[in-house]
Amino acid sequence: MSNQHSWALSMNQIENCSCSHGCGCQFGGFPTSENGGCEAILGFEVLSGHLNDLDLSGLKMVFAAAWPSAMHEGNGKGALFIDNNANEEQVNALATIMSGQAGGMPVEVLGTLFSEFDGPIMADIKLNRQDYTSTVTIEGIIEVEQEPHINPVTGDINEVHISFPKGGFMWNDGFAGKTKLMKINHGNIAFNYSDTFAANAVVNWPNA
């Protein structure tokens, strides 16, 4: 725990990446994308949260990243978008947490994996978490849509739930589907994917 900051975030997390179904980065440490890299967009909605005495509940963030190979090998490009509804103090607090400067997992590790980073960028973030049909939108910049896996024989939804009994890096229990659309065009980060890995979960990140 950081000696300077006490923080906690309970959040809806919507996660899409360039890996094939069953994200290699989460389960084996190495991406299973066609180009061997890891490109991802994660949307967050703070259900309850704070940095020291500052309330962060109700705010939204979007985190975009592109690594040329496995994320733990670093040299990534990243961008952090923060809700227009956040005031200056809240923006600074979220940026401090998400950059790893306040300590705590997983952000303390994530913050070391970038050679280029842009943000915080103020944006009108639209985010809706559902079990298999979550969406994230920043008009003109980011568009994310998730959809479920479908049983090819029955046509029914394949309800997939993934659990890390001893705790995962980003989340412990989540719904897994697939990417209908994951698109970003911002500065030095631009990609467009469909039919790749997607998941969403409620995450609890404490440093308190």
Contact 125, 43 (CB under 8 A): yes
- Phi, psi dihedral angles at 83 (to 5 degrees): -50, 130
The pTM (predicted TM-score) of the whole model is 0.89
Three-state DSSP class for 106? coil
pLDDT tens string, the chain, 208 residues long: the values are 444 679 999 999 999 998 867 664 566 555 555 676 789 999 999 999 999 999 999 999 999 999 887 777 878 999 999 999 999 999 999 999 999 899 888 888 888 889 899 989 999 999 999 989 999 999 999 999 999 999 989 999 988 888 778 766 677 788 899 999 999 999 999 999 999 999 999 999 887 5
Q: How far apart are CA 8 and CA 14, in angstroms?
A: 18
Among 15, 7, 4, residue whose Cα is nearest residue 136: 15
CA distance 15 to 91: 22
| d(C-alpha 16, C-alpha 24), whole Å | 13
Domain ranges of the chain: 7-207
